Amino acid sequence: MSRLLAIDPGNTESGWVVIDANTCQPLEFGKSNNYDLLEKVWGRAHTHDFIELDDPVFIEMVASYGMAVGKDVFETCVWIGRFAEACGRDSNGEASQFVYRRPVKLHHCHSAKAKDSNIRQALVDRFAPGQPNYGKGTKAQPGWFYGFNADIWQAYALAVYAADTQLAPEGETL
C-alpha cells in the first residue's frame, strides 16, 4: 500500500493526515502541537509506525499576496522548514514537496477564489455523498470523514491533490 503524509502547518499547531495514495482513504490524522508532530516525523525513520521513510510528504507552503503579514506567518514559515528538514530525503533522494494553496483550490473547486468551506464540500461530494454531517457520519455509523475537524480538512485536501496530481502514473491524471 502506498501512503503519503500531508501537513497543513501553523505557528503552534498543524493539521496532518496520512492517506492511502491509491484510494485517498484517510488512515491517520490529527491536529497536533508542532513539537509533537515534529517528534513523530523525526521518529518515522526508526519506528515505521507513522509512515515509512520512502512515503512522500507534502507540506502546504505560505505564499505572498502583497499584503502585510504578522508574526504568526513568519513563525509558520519556520515550522515549514523544520518539518521539511525532519522529513529528510527518501531512498530516491526526493525531499518533501511544498505545495501552495492556490493549486489545491483549483484542483478541488476549479476556482482560486474558493474558500475552505467550498473545498470541504467538494471533498464530501467526492468521497462521502449522502453521508450525514459532512461525511462524518455518527459515532454509531462513522463516515469517511469521521473525526475530521479544523485544519485536518485542509491537510486532507492537500493529500488528495498530491495523490491525484503528483503521484499519478506518468501521462495519467486522476
Amino acid residing at 131: Q
pLDDT at 46 over 60: no
pLDDT digits (tens, 9 = 90+) for 145-157: 999 998 999 999 9
Mean pLDDT of 141-167: 94
pLDDT at 174 over 50: no
Instruction: Name the percent of the chain lying above pLDDT 90.
Output: 63
Radius of gyration of the chain measured on its C-alpha atoms: 16
The CA distance from 115 to 98, in Å, is 20
Mean pLDDT of 51-60: 83
Mean pLDDT of 14-37: 95
**pTM attached to this predicted model:** 0.88
- Cell output for 23: 484510494
pLDDT at residue 112 in the model: 94
pLDDT at 169 over 70: no
**Mean pLDDT for the chain overall:** 87
pLDDT at 58 over 90: yes
- Would you say 51 and 151 are in contact if contact means Cβ atoms under 8 Å apart? no
Closest residue by Cα to residue 58 from 112, 107, 125: 107
pLDDT digits (tens, 9 = 90+) for 87-137: 876 556 667 889 999 999 999 999 999 999 999 999 999 999 988 899 999
The CA distance from 95 to 88, in Å, is 6
Mean pLDDT of 51-57: 78
Q: What is the DSSP letter of 169?
A: P
Which residue stretches of the chain are H helix?
34-42, 44-47, 71-87, 101-109, 116-127, 151-161
pLDDT at 163 over 90: yes
